Amino acid sequence: MTSSASPKNLPTLQELNSTIPLEAYQTVVIQRDTLEQQLHTTKDRYIRFMREMEERWEDDLHFKDQYERMRRMVEEKEQAITDQTCRMAELARHSDEIERKLSKARADLETVQEERQDRELEFKRRFREAQSQHQAMIQDFGDKATRELRAKDAEVEEARRAAELAERSLAKVQAELSVERQAASEKTVRMASQMSQKEADLDDLKHQLQARSAELQQLSTRLDRASSFETQANLLTDELRRVKSASEERVERAVRDARNDLEVSHLKEVSQLKIEIAQLKHEQSTVESIISNKTLIRSIETAVGSHMQRLSDDTGSAASQLKSATDEIIKATLAGVKEREQEATTQAMYTVEAQARLQHERQVQDLREKFSEELRTAVTQAREECERRSQGREAQLSAEVKRLAEVAEAAQQRYIDATNQVHELESRLQLASQEHSRLQLELTAARADLADRQRTVGELNSKLRDAEGRLQELGAELEGKRRQLEEARARERGNG
- Give dist(CA 271, CA 65) in Å, integer: 99
C-alpha separations of 309 from 139, 297, 304, 439 in Å: 66, 18, 8, 69
Structural domain boundaries in the chain: 10-496
- 367/38 Cα distance (integer angstroms): 17
Tell whether the model's pLDDT for residue 123 goes beyond 70: yes
Residue-wise pLDDT for 82-108, tens only, equals: 777 777 767 667 767 766 776 776 777
d(CA 478, CA 470): 12
CA 233, 236, 238 angle in degrees (round to 5)?
A: 110
- One-letter amino acid at 70 equals M
One DSSP character per residue, 147-172 reads: HHHHHHHHHHHHHHHHHHHHHHHHHH
205-248: per-residue pLDDT in tens?
Answer: 566 656 655 665 666 666 566 556 556 656 666 665 676 566 55
Express each pLDDT in 193-210 by its tens digit: 665 565 566 566 566 656
* Predicted pLDDT of residue 6: 42
Whether the predicted pLDDT of 9 surpasses 60: no
Q: Following DSSP, what letter does each residue of 449-482 receive, concatenated?
A: HHHHHHHHHHHHHHHHHHHHHHHHHHHHHHHHHH
Q: Is the dihedral of CA 190, 195, 201, 207 positive or negative?
A: positive
- Provide the whole-model pTM: 0.23
**Residue 201 backbone class (left: φ over 0; alpha: ψ -120 to 50; beta: rest):** beta
> For residue 315, how many other CB atoms are within 10 A of its CB?
20
Distance from C-alpha of 484 to C-alpha of 469, rounded to nearest angstrom: 23
Cβ(275)–Cβ(165) under 8 Å?
no
pLDDT (tens digit, 9 = 90+) per residue, 347-401? 544 454 556 556 656 766 676 676 567 666 766 776 677 667 667 666 766 676 6
Query: Which percentage of the chain shows pLDDT scores above 90?
Result: 0
Nearest to 115 by CA among 361, 295, 248: 295
Rg (alpha carbons) of the chain, rounded to whole number = 62
Identify the pLDDT of residue 243. Answer: 61
pLDDT at residue number 1: 38
pLDDT at 4: 41
